[in-house]
Structure 1
Amino acid sequence: MQITRQADYALRAIYHLTKLDPTQRAATSQIAEEQRIPPSFLAKIISQLSIAGLIHTSRGARGGVSLARSPEEITILEVVEAIDGPIALNECTSSPDACPFGENCPLRKLWCGTQTELIEKLATTTFAQFMSEASSPAASSN
């Protein structure tokens, strides 16, 4: 399983906004440059994050992008799902009929359990926690 490049870019954009003062706005050109995201790709991502209620956007000379909620309230899962939709390791995790073995598939339990663990980890990791871990000395030595 691999998240899309678009979801990765969305996580980077939120990460960038998390580092700003809560009253600050960032220009999309600044986010694109500092996070190495193609500007045309970022425009689509910003739109999706705005529709999901994760960021605010405003146009004009004093415009820009800012977080819609505090970093303590935004999870990694929300950002990934805003871009990629619900996480599914295999189609059988949501539809056992997709597999010829159905509920009796020997791998289905593994896929469902692993998917649940991944979703729980992403759902319980906020950007505030992520920022704290990213800036800790132990994180930089790994």
Structure 2
Amino acid sequence: MQITRQADYALRAMIYLAQMEPNRRASTSQIAGDQRIPPSFLAKIISQLSIAGLIHTSRGARGGVSLARSPEEISVLEVVEAIDGPIALNECTDNPENCPFGPSCLLRPLWCDTQAELVNRLRSTTFAQILPKQGA
């Protein structure tokens, strides 16, 4: 399993926004330049994050992008799922009928447990936890 490049860019954009002072906005060109994200790719990502309710966008001279909630309230899982959809290590984890071995499959419990651990870890990790500690 590998996080898509789009999800990685989305996470980097969110970290950039989380590091800003509250009530500040960043232009997409600032984010793209500082995070080395192709601007056209970032535009699609910003749209998806906005639809998911994770960021606010505004146009105009004083426009830009900002977090919709505080970094303490936004999990890594929310961002990954906004971009890539639900996490699935194997097609059988969410739909056991897709396994040709059915209930006798010896690997499905491992995939399900591993997926649950990953989802729980990403759900419990907020952007505030990722940011460097003040004074560190």
State if a TM-score over 0.5 links the two structures.
yes
2:52 is aligned with what amino acid?
Answer: A
Match of 2:40 in 1: 40
CA RMSD of aligned residues (A): 1.3
Q: 1:124 and 1:132 mapped to 2: Cα distance?
A: 17
State the shift of 1:103 in Å: 2.1
Match of 1:78 in 2: 78
Match of 1:69 in 2: 69
Question: Does 2:101 align with 1:101?
Answer: yes
2:117 is aligned with what amino acid?
Answer: E
State the shift of 1:120 in Å: 0.3
Per-residue CA shift, 1:48-103, capped at 9, x if unaligned? Answer: 00000000000000000000000000000000000000000000000111111112
1:94 is aligned with what amino acid?
Answer: D
State the shift of 1:8 in Å: 0.3
Match of 2:115 in 1: 115
Number of residue pairs matched? 136
1:84 is aligned with what amino acid?
Answer: D
If the length of structure 2 is used for normalisation, what is the TM-score?
0.97
Per-residue CA shift, 1:14-45, capped at 9, x if unaligned? Answer: 00000100111000000000000000000000
1:21 is aligned with what amino acid?
Answer: E
Match of 1:53 in 2: 53
Structure 1 runs of 4+ aligned residues shifted over 4 Å read none
Q: Alignment partner of 2:87: what SS?
A: coil
Q: 1:22 and 1:14 mapped to 2: Cα distance?
A: 13
Match of 1:8 in 2: 8
Match of 1:131 in 2: 131
Q: Extract unaligned runs of 5+ from structure 1.
A: 138-142
Q: Alignment partner of 1:69: what SS?
A: coil
Per-residue CA shift, 1:94-120, capped at 9, x if unaligned? Answer: 011111111221100000000000000
